[in-house]
Amino acid sequence: MVFDTDSVVRTHFATQSISGGLHVAIIMDGNGRWAEARGLPRSAGHVAGAETVERIVAAAAALPIERLTLFALSADNWNRPAGEIDAILELMRVWLTSKTEECVANHVRLSVIGRRDRLPSPLVAAIEHAECATADQSKLHVRLAVDYSARDAIVRAARRFNVQAALDGARDGFERTLAVTCHANDLPRDVDLLVRTGGEQRLSDFLLWECAYAELFFSPRSWPDFTAADLEAALVEFRGRNRRFGGLSA
Ligand code: IPE
Ligand code: IPE
Ligand code: MG
């Protein structure tokens, strides 16, 4: 992983007044269609997609992004053939195992949100190792959403919240519970920019709570073809948006 800063981008963002880094979330979609268009098995698309993850993490580290949440496997993806899911889970295990050291060297913290009880134990071990080894890194926090469903996270948090007697203040308390139930170990942080690749324009049960005021960016490009320049273009467009949060323009 090369953490190289493109000078054009650096100059562009250096001129912006950035207070704190952004939370960018990406629905990494289009791997299967990318492979099918090339006469390859869908699993080849996931392999190519894993390479894009590496490129985009490196690009994000050179941009004013503090948190990057990547949708890697949804809870509904269990509806796919077992062979495809097994290949994705194994790819994640290998990716986490092989990238952990580089992440430490580049000050990237890795964590995983979503359910773990349905994941193979070698993958859970790789997740725990990656989280533990990178826990002190603070340049960029990369979160992989694996077996993740936003509705499920909210429902489980609500159930847990209800049975807790100490309901000190509705929203803060609920967000803390949400953090615990989806294994994030961090308070939910609003997404600033949500990117979806692959041409679809939907949320597919990703970060519904955190995307309340996210700016949406849809790219027609498949995830394996998504580049650092595409991410930079999304950020440039984001900077041009007028975020009002229910109020009026400044
Ligand atoms: C996204 O790519 C990766 C996962 C959902 C795991 P897809 O596999 O959904 O690719 P398409 O949408 O079928 O092209
Ligand atoms: C969403 O993509 C999940 C991930 C990218 C991991 P899907 O391909 O599963 O979503 P739908 O089925 O098109 O909504
Ligand atoms: Mg898809």
**Residue of 4, 6, 31, 77 marked catalytic:** 77
Q: Out of 36-50, 71-85, 117-131, 170-184, pick the least confident.
A: 170-184
Pocket of ligand 2 (CB under 6 A): 27-29, 71-74, 77, 200, 202, 204
What does the pLDDT look like over 84-95, one tens digit per residue? 999 999 999 999
What does the pLDDT look like over 184-234, one tens digit per residue? 567 778 999 999 999 999 999 999 999 999 999 999 999 999 999 999 999
What's the pLDDT score for residue 187? 73
Amino acid at 196: R
Question: CA–CA separation, 113 vs 141, rounded Å?
Answer: 12
Amino acid at 94: V
Residue 29 appears among annotated catalytic residues: yes
Could you state, in order of their start, the residue ranges of all structural domains in the chain? 20-150+180-238
What does the pLDDT look like over 44-68, one tens digit per residue? 999 999 999 999 999 999 999 999 9
| Strands 22-27 and 193-196, sheet pairing | parallel
| Cα angle 126-61-55, degrees, rounded to a multiple of 5 | 70
What does the pLDDT look like over 120-168, one tens digit per residue? 999 999 999 999 999 999 999 999 999 999 999 988 887 777 655 455 5
Fold of 20-150+180-238: Undecaprenyl pyrophosphate synthetase (3.40.1180)
Distance in Å, CA 81 to ligand 1 centroid: 13
Residue among 143, 144, 147, 204 whose CB has most ligand 2 atoms within 8 A, to mutate: 204
Question: CA–CA separation, 250 vs 248, rounded Å?
Answer: 6
| Any ligand 1 atom below 6 A from CB of 31 | yes
Question: CA–CA separation, 48 vs 33, rounded Å?
Answer: 12
Q: Which atom of ligand 2 is nearest to the CA of 76?
A: 9
**Length of the chain (residues):** 250
Residue 77 appears among annotated catalytic residues: yes
**Closest ligand to residue 148's CA:** 2
